[in-house]
Amino acid sequence: MSGAHYDAIILGAGAAGLMAALTAGQRGRRVLLVDHADEPGKKILISGGGRCNFTNIHTAADRYISENQHFARSALARYTPSDFLEMVNRHGIAWHEKTLGQLFCDHSARQIVEMLMAECRDGGVAFSFGLPVTAVDHADGMFRVTIDGREHNAPSLVLATGGLSIPKMGATGFSLDLARKFGLPVVQTRPALVPFTLGEDEALFRSLSGVSTEVITRWGKTAFREAALFTHKGLSGPAMLQISSYWQHRTAIAVDFLPDAANDWLIEEKRARPRSAFRTALSRRLPERLAEALAERLQLDGEMATLRDADLRKAQGQLARWPFHPNGTEGYAKAEVMAGGISTKALSQKTMASAKVPGLFAIGEAVDVTGWLGGYNFQWAWASGRAAGEAL
């Protein structure tokens, strides 16, 4: 067989591929880490507004969406946020907890990429960056990867090219295509952690672009309490991004605009301030522009004293379960991640190896495991990369 020989070839030098490479390399495996981009970890660099929300201390399998809710449990239990933090501390990277268990670098996401690259170099990992992969073949128990006309061979191949979100940054469906080529099932993919778009019938809300408030968003039994942001296209902000990962087309999401109000708050307001206008009462708990828009939609105008208790009670119920019917999302161009991907049915939850094709592994976002917003997706990339790296 011609070409260079390795123990493992890893396709994709993102979060998961870097972790798999440094783990296998430090175990003495000869590893080639391949990326078509000219530098590794581009999504790490832009993550968390350039500060990389690299993990979440509340990581647990129920904070991930997958056809198999239990699949991620094993890898997440064996490589925890504390394990990653140990590496971050060893490299002297300053960090802080921002909110809800989200850990960020104090200075720059680049420190995380530099740390992972230094660990790869410690493990003697070979790199091929900036050149396209033109062919991937499998025969006689060996994978042959052709890059720029040169062949590279290994008995193990790791699919780690991530998901379809932000194609402008070089995201591709390469791992999904290769999985299909090797006969692995792929769960229907869709944009997740993505802003919603609203139609013309909701133009009133689109005119609130820039207004933000804390809400509870609900879809089915799933609920998130965080900030929502109105945009000129529709709805964004963490509460909306979180619920978007669960949302199905042509269904409604429910928004509680008054998460802290007692049940009869509006009636108490009427008793306390009868001369106050309805929209003024609302603006005690909501941004003024939003209060005006909601009052307009509820068709409640005038002084509180002129409004019937029954109407106020009804309005408060509506404000607690306000239905929005998004007509879609902003798609992969704006999605933070892809949901769906290579089916967990095809993979070992301990090693991320395919049962059907010996030596083939899949990790990271390419796999049908999608985390909540807030560092969960990187923790899955680290944990699944670690699991594969220990098995290569």
- Nearest of 286, 191, 273, 199 to residue 235 by alpha carbon: 199
CA distance 83 to 31: 22
CA distance 234 to 209: 8
Among 59, 161, 236, 329, binds ligand FDA (CB under 6 A): 161
What single-letter amino acid sits at 116? L
- Nearest of 82, 74, 26 to residue 54 by alpha carbon: 82
Among 9, 14, 217, 258, binds ligand FDA (CB under 6 A): 14
- Nearest of 94, 107, 123, 97 to residue 50 by alpha carbon: 107
**Which CB atom, from 55 or from 197, has the smaller least distance to ligand FDA?**
55
CB of 122 to ligand FDA, least distance (A): 20
Single out the segment in contact with ligand FDA by CB under 6 A; choices: 119-127, 166-174, 210-218, 223-231. 166-174
How many of the chain's residues bind ligand FDA (CB under 6 A)? 38
Told to check if 176 binds ligand FDA by CB under 6 A, we report no
- On whether the CB atoms of residues 247 and 253 are closer than 8 A, the answer is yes
Q: State the CB neighbour count (10 A cutoff) for residue 267.
A: 17
Told to check if 47 binds ligand FDA by CB under 6 A, we report yes
Ordered DSSP codes for 123-136: TT-EEEESS-EEEE
Among 31, 160, 211, 360, binds ligand FDA (CB under 6 A): 160
CB of 383 to ligand FDA, least distance (A): 11
Q: Which two tokens stand for residue 134?
A: 């033109």
CA distance 176 to 172: 9
Rounded to the nearest 10°, the torsion over CA 13, 175, 344, 185 is -170
Specify the DSSP class assigned to residue 116: H
Binding pattern to ligand FDA, positions 96-135, x when CB under 6 A? Answer: -------------------------------------x--
Told to check if 364 binds ligand FDA by CB under 6 A, we report yes
- Nearest of 123, 162, 160 to residue 145 by alpha carbon: 160
Helix and strand counts by DSSP (H, E) for the chain: 13, 23
Single out the segment in contact with ligand FDA by CB under 6 A; choices: 120-128, 252-260, 315-323, 375-383. 375-383
Among 8, 32, 42, 295, binds ligand FDA (CB under 6 A): 42
Q: State the CB neighbour count (10 A cutoff) for residue 39.
A: 12
Site for ligand FDA in 283-302 (CB under 6 A): none
Told to check if 381 binds ligand FDA by CB under 6 A, we report yes
Rounded to the nearest 10 degrees, the angle between the axes of helix 309-320 and helix 265-272 is 140
Site for ligand FDA in 331-360 (CB under 6 A): 336-337
Told to check if 174 binds ligand FDA by CB under 6 A, we report yes
Told to check if 191 binds ligand FDA by CB under 6 A, we report no
Single out the segment in contact with ligand FDA by CB under 6 A; choices: 12-20, 85-93, 209-217, 240-248. 12-20
Single out the segment in contact with ligand FDA by CB under 6 A; choices: 120-128, 155-163, 217-225, 350-358. 155-163
Single out the segment in contact with ligand FDA by CB under 6 A; choices: 10-18, 66-74, 86-94, 181-189. 10-18
Among 8, 65, 166, 208, binds ligand FDA (CB under 6 A): 166
Q: State the CB neighbour count (10 A cutoff) for residue 221.
A: 6
Number of residues that this document lists for the chain: 392
CB of 98 to ligand FDA, least distance (A): 10
Rounded to the nearest 10°, the torsion over CA 68, 73, 162, 65 is 40
Point out the residue whose Cβ comes nearest to ligand FDA: 14
Among 3, 38, 46, 345, binds ligand FDA (CB under 6 A): 46
Among 6, 29, 36, 234, binds ligand FDA (CB under 6 A): 36
Among 37, 126, 254, 277, binds ligand FDA (CB under 6 A): 37
CB of 272 to ligand FDA, least distance (A): 43
Helix (H, G, I), strand (E, B) or coil at 82: helix
Going by their DSSP bridges, the two strands 156-159 and 360-362 should be labelled as parallel
CA distance 379 to 287: 35
Give the binding site for ligand FDA (CB under 6 A).
Answer: 11-17, 34-37, 42-43, 46-48, 52-53, 133, 160-162, 165-166, 170-172, 174, 336-337, 364-366, 375-378, 381
